[in-house]
């Protein structure tokens, strides 16, 4: 899933958890960036080595929610209790969006090499090579529109 989709969806979910003020909007943006967008940094490196495949690492699989995000969230809650929820919300939203795409999924990584051919396989990356390869799927660009509507609705209801 595109990084803008990850950010907007995570940001909207984080805003739902917080009181509407400038400081909370700042923290929602920071946590959305760090725990929903930056965990895909490995994709940039892999695109250079093997541009056709964007294989996820185990950091983007469900067990990482418990192995990485939960310990970080438990530590960050000592700084601010809302950081616990922001960490888990951002990280889990990333995993959810990745599973909506067509890429291979390894739901038990790093403990098992069990492979699911297509996550939930609903969305296709918005590039020409994927549209040619996979017919009958929905472009992730449509989900971007949904995310903007979700963000606007969240802002409308939270800010009044």
For 75-126, how does the pLDDT look when each residue is reduced to its tens digit (9 = 90+)?
999 999 999 999 999 999 999 888 887 677 778 788 888 887 665 666 666 6
Cα gap 124→11, rounded to integer Å: 22
Give the strand pairing for 123-124 and 138-139. Answer: parallel
Cα gap 143→17, rounded to integer Å: 22
Cβ count within 10 A of residue 91: 25
pLDDT in tens, 3-31: 899 999 999 999 999 998 999 999 999 99
Q: What is the dihedral of CA 48, 110, 118, 7, to 10 degrees?
A: -60
pTM score = 0.84
Long-range contacts of 134-141 (CB under 8 A, 24+ apart): 134/102, 137/102, 140/1, 140/2, 140/5, 140/101
Q: Delimit the domains of the chain by residue range.
A: 3-159
């Amino acid at each position: 899933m595109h990084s803008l989709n990850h950010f907007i969806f995570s940001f909207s979910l984080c805003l739902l958890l917080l009181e509407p003020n400038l400081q909370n909007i700042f923290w929602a943006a920071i946590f959305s960036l760090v725990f929903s967008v930056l965990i895909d940094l490995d994709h940039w490196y892999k695109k250079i080595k093997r541009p056709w495949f964007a294989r996820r690492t185990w950091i983007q699989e469900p067990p990482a929610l418990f192995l990485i995000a939960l310990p970080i969230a438990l530590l960050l809650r000592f700084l601010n209790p809302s950081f616990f929820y922001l960490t888990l919300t951002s990280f889990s939203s990333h995993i959810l969006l990745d599973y909506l795409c067509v890429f291979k999924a390894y739901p038990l990584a790093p403990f098992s090499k069990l492979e699911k051919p297509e996550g939930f396989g609903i969305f296709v990356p918005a590039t020409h090579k994927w549209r040619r390869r996979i017919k009958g799927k929905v472009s992730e660009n449509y989900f971007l529109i949904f995310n903007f509507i979700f963000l606007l609705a969240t802002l409308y209801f939270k800010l009044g």
